[in-house]
Amino acid sequence: MGVLVRVVLAAAGVLAALLVGRDAENFLVVEGLLGLALIAAVVVTAALLARRRGPQ
């Protein structure tokens, strides 16, 4: 679980660096918001996949 969070937050850092310069004042805010959005996307995807499989 911890590895998954690290990968998602690393991806958020890369995306934030593409959108905002690393020396910008709001870089950490953008990185945090992108991290939250990516974590939410992973959770929604997991929930939809579990729902698609149905009860076992």
For the entire predicted model, the pTM comes to 0.79
Task: Find out whether 43 and 54 touch, Cβ atoms under 8 Å.
Answer: no
In the 8-state DSSP scheme, what is residue 54?
A: -
| Residue from 30, 42, 50, 37 nearest 3 by CA | 42
Q: What is the structure's pLDDT at 56? A: 66
The terminus-to-terminus CA distance of the chain in angstroms comes to: 23
- 53 within 8 A of 19, measured Cβ to Cβ: no
The distance from CA 35 to its chain's CA centroid, rounded to whole angstroms, is: 4
> Residues 29-49: pLDDT tens digits?
999 999 999 999 989 999 999
